[in-house]
Amino acid sequence: MNNKILSLTILLALPFLVFAQSHIGGQPISFTQKIDRLQQAERVPGLDMAKIEREDAQNPNRRFAAATAVDWSMENNGQWTELPNGDRIWRLEMQSDALGLAVFYDVFYLPKGATLYMYNGERTQWKGGYTAVNNPVSGRFWTGFTTGTTAVLEYYEPKAVRGEGQLHIYRVDQAYDASQFNRNGELAVSFGFGTADACNVNINCSEADAWQTEKQGICRIIVVVTAGTGFCTGSLMNNTAEDATPYILSAFHCQDGYTPEWDMFRFDFNYESPDCNNPNIAPSFTSLLGSELKAGRQENDFILLEVTEDLPTNQNFYFNGWNKDAGVPDSTVLIHHASGDIQKFSKDEDAATIFQGQINWDNDVTTPAMHHFELFLDIGTFEPGSSGCPFFDENRHVVGQLHGGNPQCTNSKTWGGRFALSWDGGGSSSTRLSDWLDPLNTGAMMQDGAFFPVGGNSIAGKVQNEGAVGLADVTLYLYDSGTLSDSTTSDATGNYSFDGLALSNNYSISLQKGGSATNGVSVIDLVKIQRHITTVESLEAPWKVIASNVSADQSISVLDVIQIRRVILSLDAAFANVENWQFFPSDYVFANISNPIALDLPTHFGVGDFTTDINNLNFVGVKSGDADGDAAVD
């Protein structure tokens, strides 16, 4: 057998992709309201394609998007538009010669109630809405990719938080080569999706029936380096303390030769087809943004990252086990994201071998003899984007990670760095796995995998008006000990839920609904309020009092009549002292029901003793100024 293998494929693909951080969905306001199109756009500086071609010729890792430095902010770029109710939106249009665009922020802060969307020029793709829940501790974030030469950012800011939002864009990535991102001859909307070779086997095919647990620890990694973006694969790894520290094992060459931006790496879990077939629409997935490098070594081709974003509590994550024994597996399984596509399954049904010689890789890196396993796959294959995926032995323990090889549809040959040599490799905490995966210094030879349920409980209910009709598009904010932890939006029938929550006695909820201040407000309401003031007919129901007291002074008076009249006449776009809609729990106990004029509703409502699921935490919404309750609910 040759001791040197020349011109091997290193499996890092640098593509452009669709970014899918957690968001509340919906559409930008400009899609649904009559707002003039932007009259100006920022031109993204053009790419030096001759320079890029020279760099790509020297670097075997194909690159599909290049980073361009910019200096854009809400203060100096884009256009603000005032809305009739005092809210406003900021939009920034970007034009380029690229196939797709992504936007990177080094300042990213959205106040409560604000939303951010990114969409393409044709308004056929949009990402968001991102809210205060997405605010990163570091202030760094990114959105995209959208296809086409034009992209628009749209930021909505309620009047109550005017001027609090902050966005600064330092980089725009421009896609320039979509050769590996065509689906059925067309540019993929969700880049990576549907682009893997047909001979790949989906993770939910019968061949992978026995591996449905381990797959829940596998993620697609969006590698962000100063030169562009790329796909790799990684695995959550259990440690001897079993403390759910989110360590991700992947390949060193995923970032070798570049300057990585670790805090911008993104980890996509559960990106898979629901069955064995390739779906027509890209499935959803759970994304985590940001990481720190803990250890890595080129000779063993491994990196160990720690995810910095908290694991969401709406699902269980599987932390895969490992074996640092120096032996070879009797059979080997790979679970990976070939070409950044949905999760795939590959298997060598024969015993692996330890490759005896050095390996010369295409990026002029030589790995030492005896450092890699060699496999010949019997099921499936692998591709760029599979890099870093775990090698599982027959006992479901990780024994290595994919480096590269010669992918083909039959009998693919591949090599992967040996976990046993990564354990103590390099002799320091920054070059070996032992310090991180055996923090208790137990000397264990192996560690089984485990689920770590970080939540699983839910709070759910319905938001409705005083007539028990569901209110749509109400934004509910969940706080834990006063800190915003999640948000959601009620559906068309008013139902909402917060899922996968840890048990806590410190949850509270606040609610907000937009729309026009004139919704449901008319002269009829003025007549009812005036009859109450003159004691002809009392506003006996608490909700009527809440709706009428727009001055928020706990007294129904001529002042309320004046403010409502100004809204009816369009002299004021909003009520100055109350929100457009006011909310209270359906079982709220008013302090003085015999004198509802003295109502003083809090802005946050405690959930109570949350020791199990709550399925009927219902709220009533009252439209300010609408004393007869005829406001539209959608």
Q: Of the ranges 29-38, 54-63, 79-88, which is most confident?
A: 79-88
Under the banding of pLDDT at 50, 70 and 90, the label for residue 119 is: very high
How many Å separate Cα 467 from the centre of its chain? Answer: 37
**What is the per-residue pLDDT for 554?**
80
Please give the DSSP secondary-structure letter assigned to residue 338.
Answer: G
Contact 518, 567 (CB under 8 A): yes
**What is the per-residue pLDDT for 514?**
86
The C-alpha atoms of residue 471 and residue 27 are separated, in whole angstroms, by 18
Please give the DSSP secondary-structure letter assigned to residue 534.
Answer: T
Which tens digits make up the pLDDT trace of 190-233? 678 888 999 999 999 999 999 999 999 999 999 999 988 888 99
Under the banding of pLDDT at 50, 70 and 90, the label for residue 396 is: very high
Asked whether residue 180 carries a pLDDT value surpassing 60, the answer given is: no
Domains, the chain: 17-177 (2.60.120), 183-452 (2.40.10.10), 457-623 (2.60.40.10)
Neighbours of 360 (CB within 10 A): 16
Please give the DSSP secondary-structure letter assigned to residue 279.
Answer: P
- Number of residues that this document lists for the chain: 634
Asked whether residue 20 carries a pLDDT value surpassing 50, the answer given is: no
User: Which two structure tokens, joined as six digits, stand for 10?
Assistant: 């290193």
Under the banding of pLDDT at 50, 70 and 90, the label for residue 281 is: confident
**What is the per-residue pLDDT for 11?**
44
Asked whether residue 394 carries a pLDDT value surpassing 80, the answer given is: yes
Which tens digits make up the pLDDT trace of 139-152? 999 998 888 899 99
Best CA proximity match to 37, nearest among 50, 26, 49, 28? 28
**What is the per-residue pLDDT for 2?**
28
Best CA proximity match to 530, nearest among 560, 563, 497, 572? 560
The C-alpha atoms of residue 308 and residue 62 are separated, in whole angstroms, by 28
User: Which two structure tokens, joined as six digits, stand for 169?
Assistant: 């864009």
Best CA proximity match to 98, nearest among 217, 191, 201? 191
Neighbours of 440 (CB within 10 A): 11
**What is the per-residue pLDDT for 183?**
59
Reported as half-sphere exposure (CB side, CA atoms, 13 A), residue 576 has a value of 11
Asked whether residue 238 carries a pLDDT value surpassing 90, the answer given is: yes
Rounded to 10 deg, the angle between the 523-533 and 558-568 helix axes is 170
**What is the per-residue pLDDT for 62?**
61
Best CA proximity match to 454, nearest among 357, 571, 321, 309? 309
Contact 377, 391 (CB under 8 A): no
Helix (H, G, I), strand (E, B), or coil: what is residue 582?
strand
Under the banding of pLDDT at 50, 70 and 90, the label for residue 185 is: low
* Span of 151-165, 244-258, 466-480, 502-516 with lowest mean pLDDT: 502-516
Which tens digits make up the pLDDT trace of 51-76? 888 877 766 556 678 899 999 999 99
**What is the per-residue pLDDT for 10?**
41
Average pLDDT over all residues of the chain = 88
